[in-house]
Amino acid sequence: MLELCVCIGSSCHIKGAYNVIQTFQQMIEEKDLHEKIRFKSSFCMKQCHKPGVEVSVGNERHHIPAEEAREFFNTVVAGKV
């Protein structure tokens, strides 16, 4: 089971965390990945200084622009399940 986590701390919220969560939920639904991905959110992941919304995929950390959430899911997340 792949753990996918989006930061919902205030800095990431301002950078569009809500949109990232919405997009990821939609992608999990579309691709029927409920059994393969454990989707979570987290309070501040201590990376506020970096650009973009903080996201962890398994042990990897990424910070992504909210508008690239769909592409990120397709290229990085979907490739790991």
**How many whole angstroms separate alpha carbon 36 and alpha carbon 40?**
13
Q: Is the dihedral of CA 11, 31, 78, 70 positive or negative?
A: negative
Binders of ligand FES in range 14-43 (CB under 6 A): none
By CB under 6 A, tell whether 55 contacts ligand FES.
no
Please give the Cα distance from 24 to 40 (Å, whole number): 11
Q: Determine the size of the site formed for ligand FES (CB under 6 A).
A: 11
Is position 11 an interface residue for ligand FES (rule: CB under 6 A)?
yes
47 in contact with ligand FES (CB under 6 A): yes
User: Contact residues for ligand FES (CB under 6 A)?
Assistant: 7, 9-12, 44-48, 54
